[in-house]
Amino acid sequence: MSLTDTQHAIHAFIAERIELDGFAPSQAEIARAFGFKGVRAAQYHLEALEAAGIVERTAGVARSLRLLQLPDGPQQLPLPTNDDVLQLPVLGQVAAGVPIGADIGSEQVVLMDRTFFSPAPDYLLKVKGDSMRDEGIFDGDLIGVHRTSDARNGQVVIARIDDEITVKLLKIGQGPLGNRTIRLLPRNPDYAPIEVQPGQDFAIEGLYCGLVRPNA
């Protein structure tokens, strides 16, 4: 099957993102990168790559694109082994003010391919709401969380602010007096950014590292 120049470029883009991030881009990210008006155009090109045997996808799992061929030739990529399978607890309702951790308990445990995530998650957390819609994270999704208190500017983080847990884009800046400012940005224009105030109870609980979409 003959591919278009755009499809070759998307193939290379997917390979680059997997190399840099450790997981494949979402359809929304592909659409933004190539200036498509919507994800349907990205879906069309991914279907062509799948039909050509270049990528494969797992039904019901977001960011599940796997390269079967590298951009520069027909070299086959290794399939996951048993060592690549993760057993991840799915956390339920998080009590107000309680940091996310192993002591909360879980509703279930799921088996996931390690290659879907980077870095490897410690648990899955159920998303409530659509404030991260434009990041490809929707209500009901299960997001992988790598437990850490360290995060860089521009990363999607799981943060605790006062008595609430939230998933947002971390934005670190500098105020007019030279003080450090922290904002938690939604990826949905219907929601306002959260400004972390000095002295407010705030902590990074972990980094977002991929997601699973049940019943997709």
DSSP string, 79-115: PP-GGGEEEEEEE-PPPTTPPP-GGG--SEEEEEEGG
Longest dimension (CA), the chain: 60
Given the residues 2, 131, 149, 171, select the one marked as catalytic.
131
Place of tokens 């799915």: 90
Supply 60's token pair: 């019901």
Residue 184 contacts by C-beta under 8 Å, 6 or more apart in sequence?
Answer: 157, 159, 161, 166, 168, 169, 170, 171, 193, 194, 196
Give the pairing of strands 194-196 and 164-174.
unpaired
Bond before 119 cis per omega within 30 degrees: yes
Catalytic residue check, 149: no
Q: Looking up tokens 């490809």, which residue turns up?
A: 136
Catalytic residue of the set 26, 64, 118, 168: 168
Task: Tell me if residue 118 is catalytic.
Answer: no
Question: What amino acid positions are annotated as catalytic residues?
Answer: 131, 168
